[in-house]
Amino acid sequence: MAPNDSIVVINAGSSSIKFSLFSGAALALTFKGKIENLYSGVTRFSAQDAQGQSIGERSWPAAPLDHEAGMRFLIDFAQTHLEGHRVVAVGHRIVHGGVAYSGPQRLDAKVLAALEKLIPLAPLHLPHNLAPVRAVMAMAPDVPQMGCFDTAFHIGQPAEAQAFALPARITEQGVRRYGFHGLSYEYIASRLPEADPALAHAKVVAAHLGNGASMCAMAAGRSVASSMGFTAVDGLPMGTRCGALDPGVVLYLIDELGMDVGAVQKLLYQESGLLGVSGISSDMRTLEQSDDPRARAAIALMVYRIGRELGSLAAALGGLDALVFSGGIGENSVALRAAVCRDAAWLGVELDVEANAANPRGVARISAAGSRVPVWVVPANEELMIARHTLSLLEKA
Binding-site residues, in ranges, read 11, 18, 93, 208-212, 283-285, 328-332, 382
Distances (CA, A) of 323 to 65, 263, 347: 40, 37, 10
Bridge-based pairing of strands 322-326 and 375-377 is: parallel
| Binding residues vs ligand ADP (CB under 6 A) | 210-212, 239, 283-285, 288, 327-329, 332-333
Measured from the CB atom, the residue of 231 and 333 that comes closer to ligand ADP is: 333
Question: Which residues lie below 8 Å from residue 276, measured CB to CB, with a gap of 6+?
Answer: 240, 242
When the beta carbons of 1 and 242 are compared against ligand ADP, the nearer one is: 242
Rank residues 33 and 202 by Cβ distance to ligand ADP and give the closer one: 33
3-class SS shares of the chain: helix, strand, coil, % to 5: 40, 20, 35
CA distance 5 to 25: 8
Q: Which is nearer to ligand ADP, 189 or 275 (CB)?
A: 275
- Rounded to a whole number of angstroms, the minimum distance from the CB of residue 276 to ligand ADP is 14
What amino acid is encoded at 126 in this protein?
L
Rounded to the nearest whole angstrom, what is the least distance from the CB of residue 360 to ligand ADP in the complex? 13
Active site residue 260: no
Q: Distance (Å, rounded) from C-alpha 183 to C-alpha 93?
A: 8
What's the min distance (Å) between Cβ of 187 and ligand ADP?
A: 13
CB of 211 to ligand ADP, least distance (A): 4
Whole-number Å distance between alpha carbons of 132 and 65: 15
CA-to-CA distance for 162 and 183, rounded, in angstroms? 18
Which residues contact residue 77 at a Cβ distance below 8 angstroms, ignoring those fewer than 6 apart? 33, 45, 47, 56
Among the options 5, 108, 150, 321, which is catalytic?
A: 150
If we measure between CA atoms, which residue out of 254, 279, 275, 280 comes closest to residue 265? 254
Annotated binding site for ATP: 18, 208-212, 283-285, 328-332
Residue whose C-alpha is closest to residue 192's, from 43, 321, 100: 321
| Nearest residue (beta carbon) to ligand ADP | 328
How buried is 366 (Cβ within 10 angstroms: 0-12 exposed, 13-18 middle, 19+ buried)? buried
CA distance readout (Å), 98 to 232, 382, 390: 14, 19, 19
Give the shortest CB-162-to-ligand ADP separation in angstroms: 24
Cβ atoms of 359 and 334 within 8 Å: the answer is yes
Return binding residues for Mg(2+): 11, 382
C-alpha distance from residue 380 to each of 165, 194, 198, 255, 343 (Å): 33, 15, 21, 41, 24
Nearest approach in angstroms of CB 42 to ligand ADP is 18
CB of 119 to ligand ADP, least distance (A): 22
Binding-site residue numbers for substrate are 93
Residue whose CB is less far from ligand ADP, 266 or 285: 285
Which CB, 342 or 372, lies closer to ligand ADP?
Answer: 342
How many CB atoms within 10 Å of residue 299? 22
Query: 132 or 317: whose CB is closer to ligand ADP?
Result: 132
- The residues annotated with a catalytic role in the active site are 150
